[in-house]
Amino acid sequence: MPRFARIKSITGIYHIMLRGIDKRDIFLDDEDRTKFLENMNKAKEIGKFEIYGYCLMDNHIHLLLKES
């Protein structure tokens, strides 16, 4: 059964969570975290969104973004 499309936020603010498969670690060290943040900044320039906050855990990520 297919999933329904997400409802577009009126405020344009979204909480996004990414998790490793089977809750496995996605960041093995600080270098991995730094590379992720560098890639987020590159994507921000292309995607025209603001990063309100983030939390990088070993096996998952929380992002609070606002689309422009």
Q: How far is CA 5 from the centre of its chain?
A: 19
In a domain, 32, yes or no: yes
In a domain, 58, yes or no: yes
**Domain carrying residue 53:** 13-67
In a domain, 61, yes or no: yes
Structural domain count, the chain: 1
Mean pLDDT of 49-61: 96
Helix (DSSP H) and strand (DSSP E) numbers for the chain: 1, 3
**Among 12, 67, 60, which Cα is nearest to 36's?**
60
Does residue 40 surpass a pLDDT of 90?
yes
Chain mean pLDDT for the chain: 93
In a domain, 21, yes or no: yes
- pLDDT of 21 reads 94
In a domain, 53, yes or no: yes
In a domain, 41, yes or no: yes
For residues 59 and 46, give the distance between their C-alpha atoms in angstroms, rounded to a whole number.
26
Q: Read off the pLDDT of residues 3-24 as tens digits, 9 standing for 90 and up.
A: 888 888 999 999 999 999 998 9
